Structure 1
Amino acid sequence: MILFFTGTGNSRYIARRIADSLGDELLNMNERIKAWDTSEISADGRLVFVVPTYGWRIPRIVEKWIDETRFSGNFKVWFVMDCGGEIGDADKYIRQLCSRKSFDYMGVKQIVMPENYVAMFGVPNDEQAARIIEKAQPDIADASETIKAEKKFAQPRRNAYDKLMSDIVNPVFYKFFVKADAFTANDKCIGCGKCAKICPLNNIELKNSKPVWGKNCTHCMACICLCPTEAIEYGKKSVGKPRYHLD
Structure 2
Amino acid sequence: MKTLYFTGTGNSLYLAKQIGGELFSIPQLIKDKTYNIEDDVVGFVVPCYYYTLPRLVEKYIRQANIKADYVFLILNNGGGGIVAAMTIIENLFKEKGFTHYYLNKIVMVDNFLPCYDMIYEKKVKNNQLLEPEITKIKEDIHNKLEFNIDEPIKDYHNLPEYNLNELHMDQIDEDYTIDLDSCNGCGICVKVCPVGNIKLENTIPNFFHYCEWCMSCIHNCPKRAIHIKNEINDERFINSDISLNEIIRSNEQ
Q: In the alignment, which residue of structure 1 is the partner of 2:160?
A: 168
TM-score, normalised to structure 2's length?
0.84
SS in structure 2 at match of 1:140: helix
SS in structure 2 at match of 1:168: coil
Go from structure 1 to structure 2 and tell me whether the alpha carbon gap of 1:208 and 1:61 turns closer, same or farther (over 3 Å shift): same
Q: In the alignment, which residue of structure 2 is the partner of 1:84?
A: 78
Go from structure 1 to structure 2 and tell me whether the alpha carbon gap of 1:92 and 1:126 turns closer, same or farther (over 3 Å shift): closer
- Moved runs in structure 1, 4+ residues, more than 4 A? 157-160
Q: In the alignment, which residue of structure 1 is the partner of 2:91?
A: 96
CA offset at residue 14 of structure 1? 0.4
Moved more, 88-97 or 172-181: 172-181
Q: In the alignment, which residue of structure 2 is the partner of 1:234?
A: 228
Moved more, 167-176 or 44-53: 167-176
CA offset at residue 154 of structure 1? 4.7
Question: Is residue 2:17 matched to residue 1:16?
Answer: yes
Q: Distance in 2 between the 1:214 and 1:119 partners?
A: 21
- Asked if the contact 2:47/2:76 (under 8 Å) is kept, the reply is yes
Amino acid in the other structure paired with 1:53? C
Go from structure 1 to structure 2 and tell me whether the alpha carbon gap of 1:126 and 1:179 turns closer, same or farther (over 3 Å shift): closer
**Structure 1: runs of 5+ lacking an equivalent:** none
Go from structure 1 to structure 2 and tell me whether the alpha carbon gap of 1:11 and 1:116 turns closer, same or farther (over 3 Å shift): same
Q: In the alignment, which residue of structure 1 is the partner of 2:173?
A: 180
CA offset at residue 197 of structure 1? 1.2
Question: Is residue 2:190 matched to residue 1:206?
Answer: no
Alignment match of 1:26 (pick from 5, 23, 26):
23
Q: Distance in 1 between the 2:218 and 2:139 partners?
A: 35
**Structure 2: runs of 5+ lacking an equivalent:** 243-253
Q: In the alignment, which residue of structure 2 is the partner of 1:6?
A: 7
Q: In the alignment, which residue of structure 1 is the partner of 2:138?
A: 144
- Asked if the contact 2:113/2:232 (under 8 Å) is kept, the reply is no
> Identity of paired residues, percent?
30
Q: Distance in 2 between the 1:109 and 1:54 partners?
A: 15
Q: In the alignment, which residue of structure 2 is the partner of 1:153?
A: 147
Q: In the alignment, which residue of structure 2 is the partner of 1:224?
A: 218
Q: Distance in 2 between the 1:41 and 1:197 partners?
A: 26
Q: Distance in 2 between the 1:157 and 1:111 partners?
A: 16
SS in structure 2 at match of 1:104: coil
Go from structure 1 to structure 2 and tell me whether the alpha carbon gap of 1:123 and 1:105 turns closer, same or farther (over 3 Å shift): farther
Go from structure 1 to structure 2 and tell me whether the alpha carbon gap of 1:157 and 1:135 turns closer, same or farther (over 3 Å shift): farther
CA offset at residue 109 of structure 1? 0.6
Amino acid in the other structure paired with 1:242? E
CA offset at residue 135 of structure 1? 2.6
Q: In the alignment, which residue of structure 1 is the partner of 2:61?
A: 66
Deviations 1:173-222 (A, max 9, x none): 44136611011221211101111111111110000101011110111010
SS in structure 2 at match of 1:170: coil
Moved more, 41-50 or 214-223: 41-50
TM-score, normalised to structure 1's length?
0.86
Alignment match of 1:106 (pick from 97, 101, 104):
101
Q: Distance in 1 between the 2:146 and 2:16 partners?
A: 18
Count of residues in correspondence between the two structures: 236
- Asked if the contact 1:184/1:234 (under 8 Å) is kept, the reply is yes
- Asked if the contact 2:102/2:141 (under 8 Å) is kept, the reply is no
Q: CA RMSD in A?
A: 2.4
